Structure 1
Amino acid sequence: MKIFILPAILLSVPTAALAQAPDDAPGDSSQIIVTGAGLDLPPGTPAYGSVVIDRQRLLDSASGRIESVLGDVAGFQQFRRSDSRSSNPSNQGATLRALGGNASSRTLMLLDGVPIADPFFGYIPFSALAPERLSVVRVTRGGGIGAFGAGAVAGTIELASATRAQLPDFSASAFYGSRDSTEVSAGLTQDLGGGYVSLSGRWDRGDGFQTTPGDQRVAATVPAAYDGWSTNLRAVAPIAATSELQFRATLFEDNRTLRFAGADSMSQGQDASIRYINRGAWQVDALAYIQARNFSNIVISSSTFRKSLDQRNTPSTGIGGKIEIRPPVGPDHVLRLGVDTRFATGDMYEDAYNANIATNPRTFLRHAGGDQWTSGIFAEDDWTPEGLGGRLVLTGGARADRWSIRNGFYKEVNATTSAVSKDFGYADRSAWEISGRVGALYRASDAIALRAAAYSGFRLPTLNELYRPFVVFPVTTRANEALKPEKLKGAEAGIDLTPAKGVTLSATAFYNRLDDAIANVTISADGNTRQRQNVNRVVAKGIELTASAHVDDFSVSASYAYSHSIVHAPGALFDGLSPAQTPRHAASGTIAWAPAHGPSLSTTLRYTFKQYEDDLHKDVLPAAITCDAIARLPIGHGVSLVARGENLFDERVVTRQVTTNGIPSTDLGTPRTLWIGVSFGG
């Protein structure tokens, strides 16, 4: 019996090409092929357009953080312009196509097929996603379907773990950076019983930079210090000639301090998943996962600098799974049939304090929470009509989801008298949602491919949006237990060009309409009180351009997105305005020189247009241009000297701006940050 370890190419193919299916590999049925990947992409995948980030680009990030690399895809954004060192974790939702407006993810983010958003908040634990553990990232903008498709109203971001061929037996790196920052990582991978086991860990910390401008600092102002670690165990074991088991477990903790001394946040998680892949005649992709997460956060008054709120405990649990089957229906069709389910439960425990009294007494104890359940069935078929030489592919599918929101409650108790001041139990809700998509891909020639797609989808409000109010002084944002699901309808058309070997160009025009969009709506005259509400709709239309070229040792890639996004809310003051935190223009470009042997250099330039802090456009966040770079110098025996630079021109990036009674409160993004370090085996 022969044993092969092959690299996964599940997601790394260009939009107009296909990965070779394992079933097409030469050999007999006794050969065991261990890839550690999922099933191959269906032939209709390019009809929906996507951007692929390969492993080398993931490793060549000046910040060493996955959210920075995702910025290569113009139109990708978080609620704030900060990364996972200087942003509150609950702000780190992921969205695309200017469909933002609050901090929850409108984009479905998957790691090896498993949803990774926090079960309570919906944010992405970016600090736990070390780029060196990944093989490739595929970003598909637009509504999604298939497994876990509920929630993919702005698109899907698929991350695949690095394969055995990409993982050396041992790798390590150590960096020292500005403001006493350190980053250390290591990985050990060993073959075992025809498969392999990989264990990796990462720890980074830093004294942080001042997010507060100099003229706004006070005695209590401190830099945005951070300290986080994560560890990941992944094992892949063959079962038969065409099937394997994949197991992954991740532990992480992330501690940050923002703006004022004592304003500390903590997020942690313990995730595990198991996946069964069968690449035989009846292909199967089945997985189950569990997430145990927690979050805490202390709010400090900006007038007295005493504790005003202690969100001391927010435990949540996510459990889910899917089964997808691809029956053998002939060479012209790839049929996908499946079911999936997701359950989320969470609680918020917080204590309010009187920050105006020197003793800083506790005033109220609050407890809120609830459950969510979404279960769906889906079917999708990709048809390559016979007789056209594979030039035309038609694809279409549908989902039916049953969702429920249950056991919602909010309780407030006087900390002094123990008297119950508020005790609300919210009615259970449930309904069916039907969504679908269709697409077509026509390869007019080797150099030209035309595509078009239309889709629909929905997203449930998170437990955070339903039940947890929050404060970012001086603004208080209230929860809303009556929020309805968001519903998307969209269409797009595009062209992919390959005018010469190594050169690709792509253009996409899109129209997306998000009905009942959830936004943070200003409800007080002074602008300091907001509430999460469904607005009539958000309409986003625009153009996305991507380009790449590889000539000898040089490569160039670029991405640009124009998103004209407007809120439709008849009678409201923000009717006709763009959603909060959504830029109209975004662009990114990277130039790299990477010979097969010797030193390498990569430089990335990013531009983000101005955007507004709030729904009423009272405060503007100016446009910003940043430049990053990374250089590698091999010094022998697998060791390289590495220099990295973030925001090399020290651009002033405003991430938050709130003006109260003419007095601004401003937060800034990462200033110039320099790193020096060594890597081995990477």
Structure 2
Amino acid sequence: MADASTAPEVPSSTTLPTTTPETSASSRTVVTGTRLPRPVRDVPATTVVLPREEIDRSPSLTQDTLVRSLPSVATFRRTPSLVSDPTAQGLNLRGLAPSGVARTLVLLDGVPVNDPLGGWVFWRSLPRLGLDRIEVVPGGGSALYGSSALGGVVQLISRPITGPALDADLSAGNRDTGLLAARGAHRWGSIAAAVETELLTSSGYRIVTPGQRGAIDSDTPSNHVVLNGRVEARPSDALTLSARANLFRENQNGGTRFTTARVELAHFGAGARFQTDTLGTFSLDLYGRALRFEQNRARVAQDRAAESLAASQDVPADDQGASLVWTAPSWTAGGTHQLSAGLDARRLSGTSREQLFPPTQTPDTVLTREAGGTQWTGGVFLQDLYAITSALELSAALRFDVWRNTQGLQRVERASGAVDTTPFEDRTEHQLSPRLGVRLRPWDAVTLRASGYRAFRAPTLNELYRPFQVGTVFTAANANLGAERLWGAEAGVEVEPLRTLTARVTGFWNVLEDPITNVTLPDGMGRERQNLGRARVRGVEASIDWRLSRQWTTLLGYTFVDPTVTDAPGQPALVGRQLAQDPRHRAAASLTFEDPSLVTATVQLRVTGPQYEDDLNERGMGGALVVDAAVSRRLFWKVDLFAAVENLFDREYLAGRAGVDTLGPPLLARVGLRLRDAP
């Protein structure tokens, strides 16, 4: 399941030894927690790692399902990206206020992949064949990464380019599921290149519960295609250059004729790394992205016997960014200091263009609506990792961010032909984000960690400018929204009595202030996004990684979260309630047998406790226990035959209760061939 450890700017973690019994999880190198490569056991905060070996063995089909195998990682709903578009799948760590908007920053090799307009994550655009590992760093990460890292950071790290090499996956399964993935890599002296593609198609399943299902409800077919390319060059021992391009297209159907979504995305990036003995290391990244998101929404009869098109939305968006990080040579002053500093800037722009199809019209009926704007963000940070002795290390980071919302505009056209245009005033805000941490190793087998932090998330363009309507409820945007803010702390212990056994426990306490929520207006006729209230999210994480023998490995993980509303001005009934879509208990367990001459098999258990759909805790959803399994055997050369099953016992459980009850994935099985020709 996971690879665990810690990082100076984030909580403690998990690593499975996946090569030999003598290989310890703590020997892995991670980069996300400190923006520097360090052994996971030396990082002052939690870092959970899914290594490539574990990614290959996982039964899961999509990336969001893969990361949700970690108990501290969740998306807003239990529905996977196989049948749900990202606007309903906001990522959160440690139960930190789940919503449709991600409160976690997602990176690919240091570059943000969150959508420019709404902060969503297009998980299916991130295929796994080219991944070396996934690093998860829960806890406020704004001291190093700025906005969007309110609840932590998830980073996908690409495999190093070696070659010549060829990897491929070909599989087919029930529900008309088919997957073709391939990766080729080669190196010509100082130049290396890799190309990767993935094609996936599936008929999905019927997501509405049988008791509420109507004539309009059918399966949820989807398909996607990805093409990625990456080039690296090393003109000298000191300089490394890189460039990459990513193309992605996805089509989804939500189960009825008029609930569809489509995404087209193109991303380009370039980087340079210059390393010197006297001045340190300089890393520069430049990137740009353009995408188009299209979505249709349906108006459904109460008995679900008929539907009609309610709205059609077209959302073009783009962003451009740059970051520069300097790492100084280590120096001595009462111990060893590792100083780093950096700055980054990003421009985000997006517009939502909606065409509405109301059942009846009056002269004031809105027929088209256009809303959007531009957001400029930038920040600078400074970090010092201060090792007083080999057993005691302090970490401190401080970041200053500024963001500016400009060109905000809403344009509405009514049935009478009248056009209302509302420009929004430009606004500038700033935020200071500190983080302090300590790592103490009194004995070689015991590591203690603690940290405190402040983090924030600036409102997205979607929250600032784009209103939306679900059924008869209209929710207005709010151009005056401010940032959400988080205060938090954590402390934990990691014990490694054997090179093959690692156990860790981490407690955490977070207070989220001024969360962006949808608030019912006094007239009761609509809602508006507002900064309102306060929530306390506290809990504990525990995990055990144990290689029982050369062939057997087990991992157990558990996360308890107490997510409670502590202040809700104007809505006293919410105080003391549990946050919506936020179960108190999550657990996972896996058992792996690996003998290359015989077979490799993994059984995985995922448990999610009861939770509520709504903020008043009136629409409950029971817990879920799901078993997944995968098995593979070498056929010849480097070709394996494999089989994978998700939800092995076809357990039926609720994924959502927003107007209609929807189901989590049923049994999904597939078999295929796998070629692994690269280290």
Q: TM-score, normalised by structure 2?
A: 0.90
Match of 2:190 in 1: 194
Distance in 2 separating the partners of 1:229 and 1:470: 29
State the SS of the aligned residue for 1:275: strand
Given the alignment, which residue of 227, 230, 247 partners 1:234? 230
Distance in 2 separating the partners of 1:162 and 1:582: 34
Task: Indicate if the aligned counterparts of 1:521 and 1:615 stay in contact, CA closer than 8 A.
Answer: no
Task: Indicate if the aligned counterparts of 2:129 and 2:181 stay in contact, CA closer than 8 A.
Answer: no
Task: Indicate if the aligned counterparts of 1:565 and 1:579 stay in contact, CA closer than 8 A.
Answer: yes
Given the alignment, which residue of 542, 546, 551 partners 2:539? 542
Match of 1:271 in 2: 267
Given the alignment, which residue of 169, 178, 181 partners 2:177? 181
Amino acid in the other structure paired with 2:382: A
Amino acid in the other structure paired with 2:537: A
**C-alpha deviation, 1:199, in angstroms:** 0.4
Given the alignment, which residue of 334, 337, 344 partners 2:341? 337
Task: Indicate if the aligned counterparts of 2:26 and 2:41 stay in contact, CA closer than 8 A.
Answer: no
Match of 1:308 in 2: 310
* Cα deviations by residue, 1:468-493 (Å, 9 ceiling, x for unpaired): 23344465543222221011111110
Match of 1:675 in 2: 670
Distance in 1 separating the partners of 2:84 and 2:164: 33
Q: Matched residues, percent identical?
A: 29
Distance in 2 separating the partners of 1:417 and 1:45: 66
| Structure 2: gaps of 5 or more residues | 8-12, 16-23
Distance in 2 separating the partners of 1:13 and 1:236: 31
375-384 vs 647-656, which moves further: 647-656
Alignment of 1:104-503 (within 5 A): 104-145=101-142, 147-165=144-162, 169-281=165-277, 282-303=280-301, 304-311=306-313, 313-330=314-331, 332-355=336-359, 364-385=367-388, 388=389, 390-414=390-414, 416-420=415-419, 422-473=420-471, 476-503=474-501
State the SS of the aligned residue for 2:291: strand
Task: Indicate if the aligned counterparts of 1:324 and 1:338 stay in contact, CA closer than 8 A.
Answer: yes
Task: Indicate if the aligned counterparts of 1:42 and 1:334 stay in contact, CA closer than 8 A.
Answer: no
Match of 2:21 in 1: none
Distance in 2 separating the partners of 1:525 and 1:644: 53
Amino acid in the other structure paired with 1:314: V
**C-alpha deviation, 1:341, in angstroms:** 0.8
* Cα deviations by residue, 1:491-537 (Å, 9 ceiling, x for unpaired): 110001102221111111111111111123455899x9543322221
Q: 1:49 aligned to 2:68?
A: no
Amino acid in the other structure paired with 2:355: D
Distance in 1 separating the partners of 2:613 and 2:661: 11
Q: Say what the alpha-carbon RMSD is for the aligned residues.
A: 2.5
Amino acid in the other structure paired with 1:603: V
Task: Indicate if the aligned counterparts of 2:315 and 2:351 stay in contact, CA closer than 8 A.
Answer: yes
Q: TM-score, normalised by structure 1?
A: 0.90
**C-alpha deviation, 1:217, in angstroms:** 2.0
Distance in 2 separating the partners of 1:370 and 1:319: 15
State the SS of the aligned residue for 1:210: coil
Alignment of 1:60-75 (within 5 A): 60-75=57-72
**C-alpha deviation, 1:51, in angstroms:** 0.9
Amino acid in the other structure paired with 1:673: L
Q: 1:79 aligned to 2:80?
A: no
Distance in 1 separating the partners of 2:536 and 2:93: 13
Task: Indicate if the aligned counterparts of 2:144 and 2:399 stay in contact, CA closer than 8 A.
Answer: no
Amino acid in the other structure paired with 1:310: S
Task: Indicate if the aligned counterparts of 2:509 and 2:536 stay in contact, CA closer than 8 A.
Answer: yes
Q: 1:624 aligned to 2:624?
A: yes
Distance verdict in 2 for CA 1:408–1:20, change over 3 Å: closer
Q: How many residue pairs get matched?
A: 642
Distance in 2 separating the partners of 1:368 and 1:315: 11
Distance in 2 separating the partners of 1:153 and 1:489: 10
Task: Indicate if the aligned counterparts of 2:6 and 2:42 stay in contact, CA closer than 8 A.
Answer: no
Distance in 1 separating the partners of 2:497 and 2:261: 50
State the SS of the aligned residue for 1:131: coil
Distance verdict in 2 for CA 1:101–1:519, change over 3 Å: farther
| Structure 1: gaps of 5 or more residues | 1-8, 23-37, 660-664
Amino acid in the other structure paired with 2:395: T
